[in-house]
A and B are shown apart, each in its own frame.
Chain A
Amino acid sequence: MEKQDFKAVMEVKDLFFTYPGVSEPTLKKNNLTIYKNKITALIGPSGCGKSTLLRAMNRIHDLYPGCEYKGKIDFLNPQSGKMENLLELRKENELIGLRQRVGMIFQRPTPFPMSIYDNVAYGLKLSGLKNKSELDGRVEKALKDAAIWKEAKDRLKDSALGLSGGQQQRLCIARSVALKPEVLLFDEPTSALDPISTSAIEELITELKKDITVVIVTHNMQQASRLSDYTTFMYLGDIIEFNKTEKIFVNPSVKLTEEYITGRFG
């Protein structure tokens, strides 16, 4: 195997996370490595802290004051090749910079109340792109990358709210992809969708990993095994097991993981 295969983009080290007004930390001493151009799945029973961990990776928690982090999340700086702790970012513009590098897709599609075109162009405009033809090009590319160009190209000026749920979710992916993020975080992106839209999104995510590193929370075991290269099993705020997906699904080393995967609880 090539060495490239194991290049880490993000390393979570002894991470504790506590919500405001809660006495116990929700994440306890989490350790995890996210490898470049791989798909890492987070699985575990609901309430175990998957979303909480994911939302630490782009510091979206910080929108609500009073969250406490302990430990480190090292994030690869592609220019210098060094790892930098993203929990040390403090200023609003540093966090904005982080979120442009680490995109996020939510459980329910969240199109903005504007046209399809403007939804995709929005983040680009925020990052300072003004040139109309360049914008057009980037929007088209993003819509193609997110496999929604065919359905959207004749109605770019129409409101995004008129699309179906599955199309809206792909639009949201296009919107994030347009920013050329290094990492994309998906929080149960298909749990509100029908099976056909789900498989379209799964295909798309597999496509995306050529350029982007993906972390995906899912409660669907098949989805995790189909899609991911690495799997993390979480339970009550602990990371119980982290390994290659085949290893986790075929021959897990922890009893609890096996019980969860075989559906004995959760």
Chain B
Amino acid sequence: MGANLFRNLSFFSATLSFFLLVGIFAVLFTYAQQSMQEFGFDFLLTEEWEADEDDEGGIFGGYIPIIGTLLSTLIAMTIATPLAMGIAIFLTEIAHDKIVKPFSIAIELLAAIPSIIYGMWGLFYFAPIVQLTIGGNGVGLLTAGIVLAIMVIPYMAAITRDSMNTTPDVLKESAYAMGATKFEVIKDVVMPYSKGGIIGSIILSLGRALGETMAVAFLIGSIMSIPKSITDPTTSIPVLLANNFAEAQDLEISSMYYLALILFVVSFAIISVAKFYFLGRNK
């Protein structure tokens, strides 16, 4: 009886999550219709985001938030990936047992800090540092990118570490037994062996960076303009949605659904690829 109930329950939850996914897609797609019919694929390349005086229509284009999202994510990933790999390698292959434990706990805690705290810290503490050392107004692409990197590093490092830890000791020993150095063992045995997990961790972090709202809202400047330099303020998809949703009407609302749909499809594609890699590794 209990087993049967449990089976039905889990079947129900599994189907529910599938229908939720389809449902979200359907809702986004339906609400985006008005804007899609109005602007089509030109939406992706239009820079304006301007409502008419009467709030009835206007011109809305996704170019700037899309570019802002992509650039801030790119900056974040460029900084985060090598650092996270370094941390994971340090924890699995180099650090003494005594440091590994506290270090690992610290990393897991960092990964659990709510993003708004990173946003506040970034705005009040980090933005002035960027302004002083690199220039700009403090807030902007670079600041958002760096803080995003700081946010995803613990996450990426933790997953990469777990996957590197699955490399069997004998495999490493056999490389050492052929005269490999520690560096060569990491490069030729540990990294190839845990390749699937490493790529998975990068893609999952990428998904997180793409969708991050609060921290970026604090730091990117939230201005509808194309960044001319790396320190310029701009905006991103989640930030634009969060800031404008309350006052928008009709076509503008529909355009935001359009943007949300674009983000949804991109994130979904990325997570699917990540899943594919994780499953591929477990086989």
Contact = CB atoms under 8 A, between A and B. Distances in A.
A48 B195 CA distance: 38
A122 B195 CA distance: 19
Interface stretch (A5-13, A36-44, A99-107): A99-107
B178 A113 contact: no
Interface stretch (B52-60, B169-177, B209-217): B169-177
A113 B192 contact: yes
Interface stretch (A172-180, A239-247, A249-257): A172-180
Interface stretch (B3-11, B104-112, B179-187, B227-235): B179-187
A58 B178 CA distance: 10
A65 B178 contact: no
B193 interface: yes
Contacts of A97: 179
A255 B17 CA distance: 70
Contacts of A22: none
Nearest to B175: A112
Nearest to B96: A65
A100 B170 contact: no
B188 interface: yes
Nearest to B179: A100
B180 A126 contact: yes
Contacts of B172: 63
A261 B239 CA distance: 77
A127 interface: yes
B179 to A, nearest CB: 4
Contacts of B174: 104, 106, 110, 112, 172
B179 A63 contact: no
A60 B173 contact: yes
A112 B181 contact: no
B188 A99 contact: no
B178 A110 contact: no
Given A112-B189, A113-B193, A114-B192, A122 B178 contact: yes
B227 to A, nearest CB: 42
B178 A179 contact: yes
Nearest to A65: B96
A176 B176 contact: no
A114 to B, nearest CB: 7
A96 to B, nearest CB: 4
Given A99-B177, A122-B178, A127-B179, A112 B171 contact: yes
B96 A110 contact: no
A103 B171 CA distance: 14
B173 A123 contact: no
Given A65-B96, A112-B171, A126-B184, A103 B189 contact: no
Contact of A63 (B96, B176, B193, B195): B176
Given A63-B176, A112-B175, A113-B193, A92 B188 contact: no
Contacts of A58: 177
Nearest to A62: B176
B179 A179 contact: yes
Contact of B179 (A65, A99, A112): A99
A108 interface: yes
The 8 closest A-B pairs by CB, nearest first: A123-B178, A100-B179, A104-B177, A110-B174, A96-B179, A113-B192, A99-B179, A110-B171
Given A103-B178, A126-B184, 20 more contacts: A58-B177, A63-B176, A65-B96, A92-B181, A92-B182, A96-B179, A96-B181, A99-B178, A104-B173, A106-B170, A107-B170, A110-B168, A110-B171, A110-B173, A112-B189, A113-B189, A114-B188, A123-B180, A126-B178, A175-B178
9 contacts: A99-B177, A108-B170, A110-B170, A110-B174, A113-B195, A123-B178, A123-B179, A172-B174, A176-B177
